[in-house]
Amino acid sequence: MKLRKVAAMVILAGMSVTQVSGNTGVWAKGNYTDTSFAKKYNGDGSDYYTSSRAKQNTTASYVNNNGSDTHQITAAVSNGSYKICSSYYTIKAGNRKYIKNQVYQKGGRSARIAMAPSSGKKVMMRGVWSPDNCSGY
């Protein structure tokens, strides 16, 4: 009976290690360091693009609208060639969003955020973003 308990504990411990190591593989190689953006939007109706950054896995990109003068921004993920590879999402001031995209799956290895204030007026847009994330989204 003792042998069975020991064997069961060893199996459970092994499964736990496998589960943890399996999960880390998704984001271990990701480019998930936040980079700041600040753009004075001129109200011309066009999108503002962040600088391009390396996209290293299939996780969602991350945007935090943490300092904009506007109530909300609309954002999407594009590949390095300015092709939009996600839906557009509204991100209210003080909120963040994980934006699922197809950049990496379609062979892209760089990403950028396309954004504009939802109002379309002249405002300052500020926040941080990363092409990948370590939350598993």
**pLDDT per residue as tens digits for the range 38-52:** 999 999 989 999 999
CA–CA distance, 123 with 20 (Å, rounded to integer): 44
pLDDT at residue 71, rounded to an integer: 82
Cβ–Cβ contacts within 10 Å for residue 57, how many?
Answer: 17
Query: Against a cut of 0.85, is the pTM above it?
Result: no
Q: What phi and psi, each to the nearest 5 degrees, are found at residue 73?
A: -120, 160
**Inter-CA distances, 73 with 44, 52, 87, 100, Å:** 15, 19, 14, 17
Decide if pLDDT at 78 tops 80. Answer: yes
Decide if pLDDT at 5 tops 70. Answer: no
The CATH number corresponding to 35-130 among 3.40.720, 3.40.50, 2.60.40, 2.40.128 equals 2.60.40
Decide if pLDDT at 20 tops 50. Answer: no
